[in-house]
Amino acid sequence: MFLWVIQRDLLLAMRQRSDVLTTLFFFIIVVSLFPLGVGPEINMLRSMAPGVVWVAALLASMLSLERMFSSDYLDGTLEQMMLSPQPLILLVLGKALAHWMVTGVPLVLISPILGFQFDLQTDALLVLAVSLLLGTPVLSLIGAIGAALTLGLRGGGVLVSLLVLPLYIPVLIFGAGAVEAVSAGLGASAHLSLLGAFLLLSLVLAPWATAAALRISIE
């Protein structure tokens, strides 16, 4: 059931290819906007790079949050899924991971290339990719809670960002902190381990909260 949900969602995402690409291009555009806005001065860009890339990743993954449940909610498949004997938590986990694969993984792959724009060293790029790899699933999992809470509400898109951004901040702090720590020569293991802790925490708690939120929204 769990794999089925992921496989189904990936299939859906692949069919409307635009979804995947919009998030990716949004990420690329936002990241490349900053040098234009701030000026080409290299070492300033280098110090700004982690923050910029992470904030862009945050916004990009939040952009597509709303569609996570709403398409299924509108055509009723969400209710059928909830009625199925399978535990709702598994279903929600599947949906969140599918969302992560569609939005998170492309960001991780693209980020080193964008890092060149900011003239980051190779080790910083590597840690950037790893921190994004650890961080983006947390974004999707916590985002799933926000998406479930605001299902079918008017102005849901804006509301999701208001609900979910505060919960993203610790991930952002440690994600960007990891890359800064590396480029400053200190080891990033502390930050990465905390990011891993956030990942485990959200893997356990987030689906349960999302399932509760879904049950509330669906009644």
Partner 1 sequence: MAINWFKYSSPASFYSLAGKLIPIFSIVALILFVVGLYISFFVAPTDFQQSEAYRIIFIHVPAAWMSMFLYLIMAGWAAIGLAFNTRLSSMIATAIAPTGAMFTFLALWTGALWGKPMWGAWWVWDARLTSELILFFLYIGFMALQAAIDDPRRADKAGAVLALVGVVNIPIIYFSVKWWNTLHQGATVSLTESPKMASIMLTGMLIMSIACWMYSIAMVLIRTRTIILERERHTVWVSELHKETT
- What residues make contact with partner 1 under the rule CB under 8 A? 142, 145, 149-150, 153-156, 159, 162-163, 165-167, 169-170, 173, 201, 205, 209, 212-213, 216-217, 219
Q: How far is the CB of 117 from partner 1 (least distance, A)?
A: 25
Q: Which residue has the tokens 């990420």?
A: 27
Report the nearest approach of partner 1 to the CB of residue 169 (Å): 5
The answer to whether the beta carbons of residues 140 and 164 sit under 8 Å apart is no
CB nearer to partner 1: pick between 100 and 174: 174
Please measure the distance between the N-terminal and C-terminal CA atoms of the chain and give it in whole angstroms: 23
Q: Closest by alpha carbon to 148, among 93, 84, 197?
A: 93
| Cα dist from 125 to 6, 104, 118, 178, 181, whole Å | 29, 16, 10, 11, 12
Quick one: 15 or 154, whose CB is closer to partner 1?
Answer: 154
Task: Give me the least distance between CB of 214 and partner 1, in Å please.
Answer: 10
91 vs 209 by CB, closer to partner 1: 209
Closest to partner 1 by CB, 104 vs 146, is 146
At closest approach, how far in Å is the CB of 125 from partner 1? Answer: 26
Residues 190, 181 contacting (CB under 8 angstroms) = yes
Smallest distance, Å, CB 198 to partner 1? 10
Tokens of 164: 């979910």
Q: Which is nearer to partner 1, 65 or 209 (CB)?
A: 209
Report the candidate in 148, 132, 117 with the shortest Cα–Cα distance to residue 29.
117
